[in-house]
Structure 1
């Protein structure tokens, strides 16, 4: 199967339009149609219905494979180029919103003190993209966070050969409005809160809580951003509860939101460092310092 044709198929399916895919990829509409026809001839199956333009059942199955396949190809290219590239002092660090906690911010400062020539640009993205950015060479290193049992690895999308190592683990707290009946508790069990309203956010996906505890955890509000300040304000206004690392609620005892310790199950806020093969140089030195 020609990866070039597969990429064209993904673009047409994403846009639902041959002309929009042609504009994105820089081809004529006729060329796009010929590429799709060639892919369908190779497989002996119709992959796209034409009016409207949408995947057939066979096309939908192919789409499930296409993303990971194309990502692995881009990752292989980036890995080979990275191995042959000379060391650079200007590095790109991709991170999720809660990954750069106080500990890692301090380690980053230490790395910059050790390497005066080091320049770091920090890019914040969602968990699903961090690994892909590192694999494809858009970032030299990645920091991803999530909720996990102590010492358990995070569940991250497969992006091919990559090192993923835990660098910090911190306590989680249940964030509640200051006036909530349970805000004065010393600790809370997650199962006892299954019937409460929760915020659905990328910082604390409710499907992860359901995996850990079971049914419940209905969304009071769906917020698809990753700004912690916004999340805290939504909790304070009563839109729902959430889990946050304790460092995300500094001085919460006197504010509009209370952070109550999570008694059971034992869960932590885990941050992992992601990177490909790193030859000796600034990137490897930065990875060493961030790893503690």
Structure 2
């Protein structure tokens, strides 16, 4: 199966339009149509409905396979280029906002608040490989996973909410190695004048009808809270698509909504989440590591 045809198919499905896909890919619309026809002839079945442009059942199945295939090809290309490069390779690291603060580590997944985990690990790398240039990118969870999977980043740190013994559920991470490096308890962040601000603990199900802020790259995503409790509540009063924790905490303090955060987040009022039993978890992601500095960083983060 030609990966160029596969990439065209994925792009058309994402755009929902042959013309928009052509513009994104830099092809003519007729070339995009030819690519899709060739792929459909190869597989012996229609992959896209034309009006509107949506995947057929066969196209949906192909999409499930296509994204990881294309990511692996991109990662392979990046890995080979790094292997044959004669110039020093920067150490590229991506982290979600809360994961970039790190956390104490001692053995498997260390309990404790985010602190200097990443910073301390980079300091150790700098000591072992003093000439290494480090490029750190702070971004959302999906960008971290996709960037590591595609080879744009050598390593990634992501955080999220999970049951104490469960790993994070991350898309596009099947071929990546994941290691838990830190965990923390969860709290509900509230404004000072909230009726529940004086509670010693809160059950999540009691807050289903509260005002919530959906900040999926910082707080526990509301979809996760709904799935965890089996409730249709937890609807957002505000959706915050940014990655600045201070902005989120300001919104909470001014009464715009609640959010579930790690205990270490500096919220004005934070009431422990008593049920269900969930933790804030930080994981290290990486594929094959060929650079000594990247290997050293992975080892330092996994101690």
Q: Distance in 2 between matches of 1:220 and 1:19?
A: 36
Residue in 1 that maps onto 2:250: 233
Q: CA offsets per residue over residues 175-224 of structure 1, 9 Å max, x none?
A: 00111111122222223323322222213111212233221323222222
CA contact under 8 A between 2:122 and 2:297: conserved in structure 1? no
CA positional deviation for 1:86: 7.1
Over the residues paired in the alignment, what is the CA RMSD in angstroms?
2.5
Offset, 1:26 = 3.2
Structure 2 length-normalised TM: 0.83
**Structure 1: runs of 5 or more not aligned:** none
Aligned match of 1:134: 148
Question: 2:151 aligns to what SS in structure 1?
Answer: coil
Question: Which shifted more, 89-98 or 66-75?
Answer: 66-75
1:103 paired with 2:128, answer no
Q: CA deviation at 1:174?
A: 1.0
> Once structures 1 and 2 are overlaid, which stretch shifts more, 235-244 or 83-92?
83-92
Write the mapping of 1:75-114 to structure 2, written as runs, cut at 5 A. 75-79=75-79, 81=81, 88=88, 90-101=90-101, 102-111=115-124, 113-114=126-127
Residue 40 of structure 1 pairs with residue 57 of structure 2: no
Q: Please report how far the alpha carbon of residue 9 of structure 1 lies from its aligned counterpart in structure 2 after TM superposition.
A: 1.4
Q: Which residue of 2 aligns with 1:214?
A: 230
Task: Tell me if the contact between 2:82 and 2:89 (Cα under 8 Å) persists in the aligned partners.
Answer: no
TM-score (norm 1): 0.86
Q: 1:245 corresponds to which residue?
A: 262
1:148 aligns with 2:162: yes
Partner SS state of residue 146, structure 1: strand
Instruction: Tell me which residue corresponds to 1:197.
Output: 211
Q: Please report how far the alpha carbon of residue 40 of structure 1 lies from its aligned counterpart in structure 2 after TM superposition.
A: 1.6
Counterpart Cα distance in 2 of 1:237 and 1:192: 21
8 Å Cα contact 1:79-1:135 kept in structure 2: no
Q: CA deviation at 1:228?
A: 1.3
* Partner SS for 1:224: coil
Q: Are 1:272 and 2:289 matched, yes or no?
A: no
Secondary structure class of the residue paired with 1:274: strand
- Measure how far apart 1:110 and its partner are: 2.6
